[in-house]
Structure 1
Amino acid sequence: MSLKRLSEELDFKINLKLNKVIKEVGEITVRSSLIDYAYLVSDSILETQVKLIDEINKNQDLFYTSARGVNELNIIISSSVSDLVDEIFKNEKRTHKVGNLSSITVKLPKANVTTPGVFYYIFQQLAWEGVIIQEVISTTNEFTIIVHDDQIDTAFRVIKELKNKED
């Protein structure tokens, strides 16, 4: 019985902290006209990526993010430079290229890193609404989800409603 009470008390404390973090979500930024690329990791992939970064650094209005896993490098970038990406990465092994994407970037409060379940709760709400997430990119205090253009309105609504949710 005492374990049950302890469990309920712990659940209450976690949920209270989670709700506080969700309410303190900051700016939500939406971007459109994006393309998602994935390339196999190779001996030259980072040098190739540096060439791309050198080129796109000249234009601060572009959207660009990347993540490198063990076996693949992922790049999400404004579709206006897709020809540039194709040219620079022509000698790399591309595994996919998906267009007609949009992003939602959410600024998180600092407490997100000490609160269990923040991402789970947000992604659970998106899944319940049928939102298919193409990619997720995160830093310590923000995360970006990439969705197909036809789902951006639903995804934005869900995240906005979470932020404005009454207890």
Structure 2
Amino acid sequence: MTTIPEIVEDIISRSPFLVEAISDDIINFSALARNIRPEIEKRLHKEVQNGAIVMALKRMKPRLMGQNLEGDVQEYLRSMGEIIVRSDLVDFAFKNSSTLVGKQQQLLNKLQEQKDIFHASSKGVYETNIVTSKWIEREVMQIFEEEELLSKIDDLASVTMRMPTTYSKDVPGVFYYILRRLAWENINVVEIISTKHEFSLIVDKDAVNTTFNMLNDMKSRRS
């Protein structure tokens, strides 16, 4: 039989924001209990007292605080390598087609002799994104002239982090921690591009300095 504590834990675990707020002791348990009470009653098919929910939340708190996930993330980010900024980027989104891959190969052939150029692409189910330096925009438009352009965003910049060689799967919450800080700064992330040990944020050029400073602060911060 499902119990109130089990349902409460399931609800809280679905929201990193609630986990963080409980761990930091910045949330009112009575208010939270009233908020999640309808879902608990729906799943139990009976009325539930706020006091029982509050008790379940209080019992969860020591376990959440003991996880120290944020401390682990901060330690991981302090091991980051250099942070690289590239400006004057353009983001293209093309509808996938049977000829699109061939066009991408043509573009790569043109770029293989070029140095100091930013180029990244990712293929989704229905569309392909290409982020590249502004000064080859004309070549991109010529090569992909017959493809369906879904969107084009100018005046972008990238901030690339060299991540530690230790695999981040052992440190949950790394990307959430970074993106949360960006959200607090009201920075919109246009694209996220990653490889095994690199993580690039594509942002508006006006936000690149704030983004760089924020990441550099994460890297240099000491416990």
Deviation, structure 1 residue 113: 2.7
Whichever residue aligns with residue 123 of structure 1, its letter is L
Number of residue pairs matched?
A: 165
5+ unaligned residues in a row in structure 1: which ranges? Answer: none
Match of 1:9 among 63, 66, 71: 66
Counterparts of 1:107 and 1:38 in 2: how far apart (Å)? 26
Residues 54-133 of structure 1 aligned to structure 2 (within 5 Å): 54-109=109-164, 110-133=166-189
In structure 2, the CA distance between the partners of 1:16 and 1:111, relative to structure 1 (3 Å rule), is farther
- 2:114 counterpart letter in structure 1: N
Contact 2:159–2:202 (CA<8 Å) still a contact in 1?
Answer: yes
Equivalent pair of 1:112/1:141 in contact (CA under 8 Å): no
2:101 maps to amino acid:
L
Equivalence map 1:37-48=2 (5 Å): 37-48=92-103
* Paired residue secondary structure (2:115): coil
Q: Does 1:21 align with 2:79?
A: no
Structure possessing the higher radius of gyration over alpha carbons: 2
The 8 Å contact of residues 113 and 140 in structure 1, kept in 2 or not, is answered as no
Q: Shift in Å at residue 141 of structure 1?
A: 1.3
- Structure with more helix by fraction: 2
What is the aligned counterpart of 2:199 among 111, 119, 143?
143
How far apart in 1 are the matches of 2:60 and 2:89? 50
What amino acid maps onto 2:157 in structure 1?
Answer: S
Distance (Å, rounded) in 1 between the aligned partners of 2:78 and 2:125: 35
Residue type of the partner of 1:45?
A: L
Q: Provide, for residues 92-147 of structure 1, a one-character-per-residue CA deviation record: whole Å limited to 9, x for no partner.
A: 00001111111000011124232100000011111101111111101121110111
Return the structure number with greater strand share: 1
Structure 1 pair 2–149 and aligned structure 2 pair: CA distance change class (3 A): closer
- CA deviation after TM superposition for structure 1 residue 8, in Å: 2.6
Give the aligned CA root-mean-square deviation in angstroms: 1.4
Check if 1:153 corresponds to 2:187: no
Corresponding residue for residue 89 of structure 2: 34
Q: What's the % identity of the aligned pairs?
A: 33
Q: Distance in 2 between matches of 1:115 and 1:31?
A: 28
Q: 2:66 is matched by which residue type in structure 1? A: E
Measure the CA separation in 1 of the matches of 2:175 and 2:61. Answer: 26
- Please, what TM-score do these two structures have when normalized by structure 2? 0.71
Greater length-normalized contact order (CA 8 Å, ≥ 6 residues apart): 1
Give, in angstroms, the shift of residue 58 of structure 1: 1.3
